[in-house]
Amino acid sequence: MWNFYISSSGKDNWPKKVKKEVCFIGRSNVGKSSLINAITNRKKLARTSNTPGRTQLINYFYEEKLDMYLVDLPGYGYAKMSKSSKEEMLNMLEEYFTQRKELLKVYLLIDSRQCITKIDKEMINFITEIGLDIVLVATKIDKAKQKEKTKLEKELKNSGLIFFKTSSNKKINTNLILDDVVKTLQ
């Protein structure tokens, strides 16, 4: 069973118990916490909110049988955050991505209704340039209109990356993501 393990603001308080891990990142309010809750089958494991920018620390969740961490990272692109807070968060994320040796894969979430935005592309480029394995996860597919789905499908295929289209509310393809996570960590 998945359980909350620790929240971290940087390298000094990353978990000392070294385990393999994957992380979830995306723009603020894209549905990271909801997806984590859906794939772990725990409704309140990761704290969800309608307020963008609520997750401000690196949150680790641990599964004892699988002996692994699933990591919920703060969202990026939230406009109402002070400039110094944004810089602090970006530094925390950069430190995590470049120095966390246990990190095996990054699941980058995008909103199906908005497709891949400029800031998503910047994050994809950053993660790719430092050599991390990345998978795109289009969230809220159940809320996208047909025109948005068509555009999304084209963008995902053109990205050249592995991708999943999901809905946390309707549990669409959440099992496939969990399968991919487990395969990555075996």
Tell me what the mean pLDDT of segment 130-151 comes to. 96
Alpha carbons within 13 angstroms on the beta-carbon side of residue 82 total 3
Query: Residue 20 corresponds to which tokens in the numbers above?
Result: 């393999």
Which residue type occupies 72? D
Give percent helix, percent strand, percent coil of the chain, each to the nearest 5.
40, 25, 35
Q: pLDDT digit string (tens) for 47-103?
A: 776 555 556 789 999 999 889 999 999 888 765 667 787 788 888 999 999 999 999
Q: Rounded to whole angstroms, how far apart are CA atoms 113 and 135?
A: 18
> With bands split at pLDDT 50, 70 and 90, how would you rate the model's confidence at 156?
very high
pLDDT band for position 153 (cuts 50, 70, 90): very high
Map residue 46 onto helix, strand or coil: coil
Measured in degrees and rounded to the nearest 5, phi and psi for residue 154 equal: -65, -45
If you average pLDDT over every residue of the chain, what do you get?
Answer: 90
Alpha-carbon distance values, 39 to 69, 134, 179 (Å): 13, 18, 9
